[in-house]
């Protein structure tokens, strides 16, 4: 505590001395009058000075020390030891995120598995999948497995419904169990993801429902305690409609009403931002998460499935339409941050409405693939503290502070 003292200013008292010198030359009457006034002035002055001297000292508290809180991006848990030496490209990529955010609590990563259509495929695929699942378990990473039919087979969805692959699918899961895989190591499996998009050629809700029930039954005959989910896109399409602009936002009732309660452990909801190519005659963008991740449809679907668990599959891009300079679109850091902030707000609203919400961030660089979109936050292998890297860290902090679990899809090339 620093104390400021108020000394008595005696010099001010001695200023009255000349006053007495002046009155020496005045008559008695005037002297008496002036002496009375002077003495009164001195008494009043001394009283004021005495009050100032006797009042409590003025104190100045030291400036408060503002504690420096280092960037979070961590809940204090140690990073997964030696994960960079893993044989799995997804886990190798996770090591970069753990370098960017030391001790980052990302314990779930997405991977893809193909539905087999022959006995040989079932055996080979089960062996490969089992190897990856064991590698995930080695580092205590939960897999979010996107189990996908073959998009090159136009009739695959109808064929599955007709039972053509029942025994093959059963053999696949039996081979996984024979390889030593447990229900816990399986993680969560996404059955027929994006079934309301043109991806699998058939978006019929009744066929989707039948196939989900069929596959859930086959899988749970081998792994009774496995975790199952579905993933529907925010816009729905008619079968074989390859024009992505034709999608419409509609209620998911037709896709979920006939699925009995308890079949699925959670509901997945997908939505991504979009910007039209730079040279498009009609410019259109959808960068606000309220537009590409509206709450009502997902909330209603989860309620109809009698689950309080919702997971969002989304991301933000830096570059889109990368296959052509004339079409290339680059988002500014500000635009990307606003989109991420919007995603965090939508996830928070689900949380505030009583849902156990998690978010899977699609962060793969698809520049040289058919999508021609770069969803990543740093160039391959270069995870230095770039502006986009800082965006990711800030986004992660938002989710972590709002108690929203984050998982990732990303992989080393």
Got the DSSP string for 46-64? HHHHHHHHHSPPEEEPPPP
Residue 384 pLDDT grade (very low, low, confident, very high; cuts 50, 70, 90): confident
For 304-314, how does the pLDDT look when each residue is reduced to its tens digit (9 = 90+)? 999 999 999 99
For 221-246, how does the pLDDT look when each residue is reduced to its tens digit (9 = 90+)? 999 999 999 999 999 999 878 777 78
Q: What pLDDT score was predicted for residue 143?
A: 98
Tokens linked to 179? 């390889």
Mean pLDDT in residue range 281-290: 90
Residue 381 pLDDT grade (very low, low, confident, very high; cuts 50, 70, 90): confident
**What is the side-by-side order of every strand in the sheet holding 365-366?**
329-330, 319-320, 373-374, 365-366
Q: What pLDDT score was predicted for residue 282?
A: 85
Q: What pLDDT score was predicted for residue 383?
A: 82
Q: What pLDDT score was predicted for residue 351?
A: 95
Tokens linked to 40? 């009164």
Please work out, in degrees rounded to the nearest 5, the angle formed at the alpha carbon of residue 189 by the alpha carbons of 183 and 195.
Answer: 160
Smallest Cα–Cα separation from 380: which of 143, 132, 89? 89
CA separation for the pair 201, 208 (Å, rounded):
12
Mean pLDDT in residue range 50-55: 45
If one compares 304 and 38, the residue with the highest pLDDT of the two is 304
DSSP per-residue letters across 350-364:
HHHTT-EEEEEEE--
């Amino acid at each position: 505590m620093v104390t400021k003292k108020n000394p008595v200013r005696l010099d001010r008292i001695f200023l009255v001395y000349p006053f007495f010198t002046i009155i020496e030359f005045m008559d008695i009457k005037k002297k008496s009058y002036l002496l009375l006034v002077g003495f009164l002035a001195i008494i009043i002055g001394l009283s004021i000075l005495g009050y100032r001297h006797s009042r409590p000292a003025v104190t100045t508290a030291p400036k408060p020390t503002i504690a420096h809180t280092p960037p979070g991006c961590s809940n204090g848990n140690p990073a997964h030891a030696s994960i960079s030496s893993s044989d799995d490209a997804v886990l190798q990529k996770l090591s970069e995120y753990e370098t960017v955010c030391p001790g980052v609590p990302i314990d779930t990563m997405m991977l893809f598995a193909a539905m087999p259509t022959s006995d040989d495929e079932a055996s080979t695929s089960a062996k490969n999948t089992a190897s990856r699942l064991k590698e995930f378990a080695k580092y205590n990473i939960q897999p979010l497995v996107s189990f996908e039919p073959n998009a090159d087979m136009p009739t695959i969805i109808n064929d599955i419904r007709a039972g053509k692959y029942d025994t093959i699918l059963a053999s696949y899961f039996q081979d996984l169990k024979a390889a030593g895989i447990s229900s816990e190591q399986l993680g969560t499996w996404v059955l027929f993801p994006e079934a309301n998009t043109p991806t699998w050629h058939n978006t019929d809700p009744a066929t989707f429902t039948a196939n989900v029930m069929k596959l859930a039954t086959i899988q749970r005959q081998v792994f009774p305690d496995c975790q199952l989910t579905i993933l529907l896109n925010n816009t729905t399409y008619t079968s074989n409609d390859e024009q992505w602009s034709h999608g419409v936002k509609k209620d998911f009732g037709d896709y979920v009403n006939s699925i009995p309660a308890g079949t699925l452990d959670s509901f997945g909801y997908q939505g991504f931002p979009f910007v039209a190519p730079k040279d498009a005659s009609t410019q259109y963008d959808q960068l606000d998460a309220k537009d590409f991740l509206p709450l009502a449809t997902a909330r209603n679907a989860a309620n109809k499935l009698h689950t309080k668990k919702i997971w969002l599959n989304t991301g933000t891009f830096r570059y889109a339409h990368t296959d052509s300079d004339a079409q290339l679109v680059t988002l500014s850091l500000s635009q990307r941050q606003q989109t991420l902030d919007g995603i965090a707000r939508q996830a928070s609203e689900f949380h505030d409405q009583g849902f156990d919400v998690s978010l899977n961030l699609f962060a793969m660089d698809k520049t040289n693939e058919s999508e021609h979109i770069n969803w990543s936050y740093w160039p391959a292998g270069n995870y230095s503290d770039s502006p986009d890297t800082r965006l990711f860290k800030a986004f992660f902090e938002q989710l972590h502070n709002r108690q929203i679990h984050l998982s990732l899809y990303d992989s080393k090339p």
